[in-house]
Amino acid sequence: MQMASLVNMPVYGLNKLEKKQFLTARLLELTQHHYQHCGEYKRLLHCIGETCMPKDAEHIPPVAARLFKEYQLKSIDEEEIFRLMRSSGTHGSQSSIYLDADSAKLQSQVLVKILQHWLGKARRPMLLIDAAQSVQNKNGMTARAAGLQGLSFFGRNHCYALNSDMQLDVARITEFFQRYEQENILIFGFTFIVWQQFIQQLEKLNLKFNLQNATLIHGGGWKKMQQQAVNDALFQQHIKNRLGDVAVHDYYGMVEQTGTIYMQCEHGYLHAPVWSDVMIRDTNDLHLLPFGEKGLIQVNSTLPTSYPGHCILTEDLGVVHGEDDCQCGRLGKYFTVHGRVPNAQVRGCSDTFS
Ligand SMILES: [Zn+2]
């Protein structure tokens, strides 16, 4: 499939029959592609006894996310590597994702399409809840830097809210809010940083602002938030208390599938865009679970050509609530995330892989 026609698909516009047809063809094509170009992926399929190519998307064996930490999984030659993406990984080893120029371009084009759906095309005054230094990369690009850079595209008059030591610069944000209070400000940051370094600091200092029509986009996981017993509703309430009228959108995504992020709608559900899909699998035997049941989240993406990341089994738990019938009107599956699998690493198909 041509890149241009892939990028120009309607973000939340295919119904489940059309989407299934598109996903099946594309994901099977990618399975074949990675089987031919990535030796480790080929061995993986052989190890789990996949003697012939799967016939539908549900039977494509998902690669456990942690394999991207343990192996250099790529379907391109060394000299084609254009960018190395790394998870921000505060604990243990990081994932390494190898992009060639085409994959990097496709990922950023799709990210732009998804975000334009939510933000429109006009650039807005933008506050980034991070330090300017976080964008600089030493050893490959981190997911955090990629997020900041990707979202910056939607802003103008960028202002970083935190100093290099990650402390809130009160004078700087006060000036920013005063200058742009009446405009549609865009705020972006990683969930825990927004909470701990921004909202909690504003509360400590007893500072409030009265924004009109601002939008906050945040992502990066709830693990640390859950440790502090903060859920989505509480988070949103504290934001609005401190900042005024702010539309808050969480997003779910991972460095292994940069570009195809899952944005949270007005009704609190994360939405699969046309280029990707979520499936829920049983934590014990990995069989597919129906809508409404909680299990491991598998994410499928039609984008990855330079590494075998088109079907990935995450270590996150989630529930798919339905398809094509969210109250917000967007088509596609919609879901919620419910933390990580406790303790044990996911026992995936890949456990036989060594
Ligand atoms: Zn919705």
Write down which residue in 199, 227, 252 finishes a domain.
252
Q: Are residues 61 and 115 in the same domain?
A: no
CA of 54 to the centre of ligand 1 (A): 32
CA of 329 to the centre of ligand 1 (A): 6
Please tell me the total count of domains within the chain: 2
CA of 118 to the centre of ligand 1 (A): 12
Report yes or no on 306 lying in a domain: yes
CA of 327 to the centre of ligand 1 (A): 6
Q: Are residues 245 and 281 in the same domain?
A: no
Q: What is the mean pLDDT of each run of 10 residues along the chain (354 residues)?
A: 84 97 96 95 84 85 92 94 79 83 93 94 95 75 80 93 95 95 92 95 96 93 84 95 95 91 96 98 95 98 96 96 98 94 55 36
User: Which is nearest to 150 in space by CA: 219, 96, 215?
Assistant: 219
262-264 and 244-252 strand pairing = antiparallel
CA of 328 to the centre of ligand 1 (A): 4
Residue 163 lies in domain: 109-252
Q: Are residues 238 and 273 in the same domain?
A: no
- The whole-number pLDDT of residue 353 equals 37
> d(Cα 297, Cα 303) in Å, to the nearest integer?
18
CA of 74 to the centre of ligand 1 (A): 35
Report yes or no on 15 lying in a domain: yes
Q: Are residues 229 and 126 in the same domain?
A: yes
CA of 332 to the centre of ligand 1 (A): 9
| In contact, 2 and 106? CB cutoff 8 Å | no
For residue 311, give Cα distances in angstroms to 61, 151, 270, 334.
7, 25, 18, 18
CA of 160 to the centre of ligand 1 (A): 30
Q: Are residues 126 and 248 in the same domain?
A: yes
CA of 189 to the centre of ligand 1 (A): 22
Does residue 263 sit in helix, strand or coil?
Answer: strand
CA of 312 to the centre of ligand 1 (A): 23
| In contact, 175 and 209? CB cutoff 8 Å | no
CA of 337 to the centre of ligand 1 (A): 14
Report yes or no on 93 lying in a domain: no
CA of 132 to the centre of ligand 1 (A): 33
Structure tokens at 112: 């732009």
Write down which residue in 205, 225, 252 finishes a domain.
252
Q: Are residues 278 and 225 in the same domain?
A: no
User: Which is nearest to 267 in space by CA: 285, 250, 286, 288?
Assistant: 250
**C-alpha count within 13 angstroms, C-beta hemisphere, residue 306:** 25
- The whole-number pLDDT of residue 349 equals 42
- The whole-number pLDDT of residue 36 equals 95
CA of 3 to the centre of ligand 1 (A): 27
Q: What is the CATH number of the domain that holds 130?
A: 3.40.50
CA of 291 to the centre of ligand 1 (A): 15
CA of 12 to the centre of ligand 1 (A): 10
Q: Are residues 289 and 229 in the same domain?
A: no
End-to-end alpha carbon distance in the chain: 33
> d(Cα 57, Cα 19) in Å, to the nearest integer?
12
Q: Are residues 151 and 45 in the same domain?
A: no
> d(Cα 224, Cα 350) in Å, to the nearest integer?
28
CA of 10 to the centre of ligand 1 (A): 16
> d(Cα 266, Cα 134) in Å, to the nearest integer?
30
**Beta-sheet strands, E only, within 132-207:** 141-142, 155-162, 186-190
- The whole-number pLDDT of residue 354 equals 31
CA of 87 to the centre of ligand 1 (A): 28
CA of 266 to the centre of ligand 1 (A): 6
